[in-house]
Amino acid sequence: MLELKNISKGFVDFCLRDVSFVVERGDYFILLGESGAGKSMVLESVAGLVKVDSGEILLNGRDITKEIIQKRKIGMVFQDHAIFPHLSVEENIAYSLHGTKFTREEKREKVKAIANELGIGELLARKPATLSGGELQRVALGRTLIQQPAILLLDEPLSSLDTRLKSDLRRLLRAIHRKGQTILHVTHDYEEAISLGTKIAVIHQGTIVQSGSPLEVFNHPKSEFVAHFTGAKNFFPAKLVTDNQGKFACIHESIQVRIVTDLPDGDGFILIRGEDILLSVLPAETSATNNFTGKVTEIVLNTFGVDVTIDAGIELHVLITRESLEKLGLETGKTCWVHFKASAGRFIGK
Amino acid sequence: MNRFSYIQLAFLVLGSLVLLFILAPLTGMFLNTTAGQVFETAKEQEVRKSIWLTIYTSLAGTLVFSLAAIPLAYLLARKQFPMKKLVTGIIDLPVVIPHSAAGIALLGFVSRESVLGKMGSAVGLNFVGHPAGIAIAMAFVSIPYLINASRDGFAGVPERLEKAALTLGASPFRVFFTISLPLAWRNILSGLILMFARGMSEFGAVIVVAYHPMITPVLIYERFGAFGLKYARPVSVLFILISLALFIVLRWVAKEKNSEIVK
């Protein structure tokens, strides 16, 4: 278990203020924030690369706030992988085994086992300069995992990969997590957070503004910043199914949303941005494939416009302008229709 | 064809003049010396001894002083400390002061009356007029080259790689020897070669500390003083040829080794 208590750190133009959160054993904890929000700084504080001004960091009950880096038992995968360019893949992965009780043969076996698990068993003799970004990422993971860290820190591990490699690596990270590895993962991408996290904390200007399960954070954002940043209030667990007309996301029996995607069928989440939903007070013929009817349950004004909540079997948030609100004469309890195109729905695989 | 601008033409002419300025005196000296003369000189015991002495004193000075110079270069590349600019300035001092003056300063430093001299005497070593004194004089004037090259090398090693090694449980000691040093090695090696070369060509500081035994630059000077230009030429040509051959081989070996690391 990793616990941060009121971590603060000041810099010339930036600071962390009272950052506190708990990563339980077995969590896949996502720290979500914009670039410059202080996410990486938090990771570096945990790893010991930067010294904090005040606060405490506890790992499995042990105070490691002032512990030197090499004694922390924390594995960190850097954003740019930080693979040693002069060593082979095998030497990179074996780096932390130096000075352990294992014999040379045992070390080789361990390296081989972990490399095979990560799908880089064939690359052991290669030099890093000949590897692709995705391969380097796996070497970095192998090099860190071989020391069986109490917690694995990942700094934007997917940001440098293209879409196809991203989903491969997500699957790999999920597999590592399933084996019981506790993970603290930093990202600016809410899709990553939804797809991987068992817990999410949102960080903004050096402060944690909200934390909880992905459903809690995305469906009940506590502040406008979180709502705007996560950008997806309409967020539901769903199953992707293919029929003769294409793909649809089944939220439950009666609620099915047509979407455009090339993902394979399976469990995941559907996101529909509130800005992409049209609202009408009369049944309308539109080109939209997804049409639902329901009652207005709440109308909230915010800086971006008006957030209208409609109960259509699922709770849908629709973002409209104040002009539209007046034109349509919307009020709580009124029946209305919602429409959105198949392309407005976004499915995120699990 | 691209239009050739006048400024490029002017620069080309000026550049050629500089090259000519370097090559003309050397070529003149080579043309004024026959292969037979060089060959005869190479057979002289005195010449061979001096060339050998020059090579090994410079090599010894380079290697011994590198043990402290490389760690210093690492500190300069990685740490911020008060008066760092002053320290950097001190390191460049041997390059800017007249080398005969450096020799005078060193003579006071290593003579029998000095602390170092007394320490040497205790183990029967007199630096003045001894190869050890020559090595010290050579190292004094050439050590900035090694420190500066090594510092650039260490500065070019991403600090994140060192931090990554620390998170993998390596001690700072191991990080230095397995990460920082190998990755900065190209620059360090180039600094070592430069320091060695500069040491071999040193004259001013060495002649003050040790006229005898005679290193080749001193021998050339003595032959010029005693017998004139004609007698100083063959040994000059011979020493230049040997130095050139040595550095071409060293550079080549260094290049081979480094391209291996990068692969």
- B165-194 pLDDT, tens digit per residue, is 999 999 999 999 999 999 999 999 999 999
Q: For residue range B30-42, what is the model confidence (pLDDT) as tens digits?
A: 999 999 999 999 9
Same domain? A177 vs A309? no
How much is the pLDDT for B263? Answer: 41
pLDDT at B111 over 60: yes
A201, A230, A259 — which closes off a domain? A230
By C-alpha distance, which of B254, B154, B153, B155 is closest to B197?
B254
Domain that holds residue A160: 2-230
Looking at residue A300, which CATH number applies to its domain? Answer: 2.40.50.100
Same domain? A183 vs A304? no
Q: Which residues of A29-54 are buried (b: 16+ CB within 10 A; e: fewer)?
A: bbbbbeeebbbbbbbbbbbbbbebee
Same domain? A274 vs A159? no
Q: Which residues of A312-347 are buried (b: 16+ CB within 10 A; e: fewer)?
A: eebebbbbbeeebbeebebeeeeebbbbbbbebbbb
How much is the pLDDT for B258? Answer: 65
Nearest CB among A47, A71, A82 relative to B161 is that of A82
Distance CA A8, CA A42 (A): 9
Residues 6+ apart with CB under 8 A from A295: A310, A311, A333, A334, A335, A336
CA distance A106 to chain B (A): 18
CA distance B70 to chain A (A): 20
Confidence of residue A346 (pLDDT cuts 50, 70, 90): confident
pLDDT at A326 over 60: yes
Residue B112 has which token pair? 């029998």
Q: Where are the domains of chain B?
A: 1-31, 44-262
By C-alpha distance, which of B57, B67, B74, B55 is closest to B187?
B74
ipTM: 0.83
Q: Among A209-223, B128-142, B157-171, whose mean pLDDT is lowest?
A: A209-223
CB contact under 8 Å between A144 and B163, yes or no, is: no
Give the nearest chain B residue to A128 (CA atoms): B263
Give me the number of domains chain A comprises: 2
Q: Which residue has the higher pLDDT, B222 or A231?
A: B222
Confidence of residue B260 (pLDDT cuts 50, 70, 90): low
Q: Are A234 and A220 in contact (CB under 8 A)?
A: no
Residue A160 has which token pair? 């440098």
A209, A230, A251 — which closes off a domain? A230
Q: Which residue has the higher pLDDT, A165 or A128?
A: A128
Q: Which residue has the higher pLDDT, A66 or A230?
A: A66
Bridge partners of residue B135, in order along the sequence: none
Q: Which residues of A touch B179 (CB under 8 A)?
A: 84
Q: Which residues of B128-145 are buried (b: 16+ CB within 10 A; e: fewer)?
A: bebbbbbbbbbbbbbbbb
Distance CA B218, CA B197 (A): 16
Residue type present at position B61: G
A203, A230, A257 — which closes off a domain? A230
Residues 6+ apart with CB under 8 A from B122: none
Q: Does B177 touch chain A (CB under 8 A)?
A: no
What value does the mean pLDDT of chain B take?
92
Q: For residue range B41-77, what is the model confidence (pLDDT) as tens digits?
A: 999 999 999 999 999 999 999 999 999 999 999 999 9
Q: Which residues of A touch B163 (CB under 8 A)?
A: 47, 49, 69, 82
Tracing tokens 């502040």 back to the chain, one arrives at A223
Q: Which residues of A touch B169 (CB under 8 A)?
A: 70-71, 96, 147
Distance CA A126, CA A133 (A): 14
Interhelix angle B115-122/B99-110, rounded to 10 degrees, is 60
Give the nearest chain B residue to A152 (CA atoms): B167
Segment (H or E) for A317: strand A315-320
What is the average pLDDT across B200-228?
94
Angle at B146 between CA B251 and CA B119, to 5 degrees: 125
What is the average pLDDT across B118-132?
86
pLDDT at B262 over 80: no
Q: Which residues of B touch A143 (CB under 8 A)?
A: 168
Distance CA B70, CA B129 (A): 28
Nearest CB among B161, B166, B263 relative to A84 is that of B161
CB contact under 8 Å between B171 and A76, yes or no, is: no
DSSP chain B: -----HHHHHHHHHHHHHHHHHHHHHHHHHHTS-HHHHHHHHH-HHHHHHHHHHHHHHHHHHHHHHHHHHHHHHHHHH---TTHHHHHHHHHHHHHS-HHHHHHHHHHHHSTTSHHHHHHHHTT---TTSHHHHHHHHHHHHHHHHHHHHHHHHHTS-HHHHHHHHHTT--HHHHIIIIIHHHHHHHHHHHHHHHHHHHHT--HHHHHH-SSSPPHHHHHHHHHHHH-HHHHHHHHHHHHHHHHHHHHHHHHHHHHHHHHHH-
Same domain? A245 vs A195? no
CA distance A294 to chain B (A): 55
Q: Among A3-12, A141-150, B184-193, whose mean pLDDT is lowest?
A: A3-12
How much is the pLDDT for B261? Answer: 53
Percent of chain A clearing pLDDT 90 (strictly above): 49
Distance CA A325, CA A331 (A): 9
pLDDT at A227 over 80: no
Interface A–B counts its CB contacts (< 8 A) at 58
- Mutate which of B160, B163, B168 to test chain A, going by most A C-beta atoms within 10 A? B168
CB contact under 8 Å between B167 and A69, yes or no, is: yes
- Mutate which of A72, A84, A97, A141 to test chain B, going by most B C-beta atoms within 10 A? A84
Same domain? A157 vs A144? yes
How much is the pLDDT for B93? Answer: 93
Distance CA B138, CA B209 (A): 10
Looking at residue A186, which CATH number applies to its domain? Answer: 3.40.50.300
Instruction: Give domain B44-262's CATH architecture.
Output: Orthogonal Bundle (1.10)
Residue type present at position A294: G
Q: Which residues of B touch A71 (CB under 8 A)?
A: 169
Bridge partners of residue B241, in order along the sequence: none
Give the nearest chain A residue to B260 (CA atoms): A86
CB contact under 8 Å between B167 and A74, yes or no, is: yes
Confidence of residue A266 (pLDDT cuts 50, 70, 90): confident
Q: Which residues of A touch B164 (CB under 8 A)?
A: 76, 78, 82, 84
Nearest CB among A49, A127, A147 relative to B168 is that of A147
Same domain? A195 vs A267? no
Q: Which residues of B touch A78 (CB under 8 A)?
A: 160, 164
By C-alpha distance, which of A191, A273, A161, A270 is closest to A227?
A273
pLDDT at A51 over 70: yes
Looking only at Cα atoms, what is the longest distance across chain B? 74
Nearest CB among A70, A86, A144 relative to B166 is that of A70
CB contact under 8 Å between B263 and A129, yes or no, is: yes
H and E: helices and strands count for chain A: 9, 20
DSSP B43-108: H-HHHHHHHHHHHHHHHHHHHHHHHHHHHHHHHHHH---TTHHHHHHHHHHHHHS-HHHHHHHHHH
pLDDT at A193 over 90: no
Q: Which residue has the higher pLDDT, A37 or B76?
A: B76
| Omega before residue B217 within 30° of 0, cis | no
Q: Which residue has the higher pLDDT, A181 or A302?
A: A181
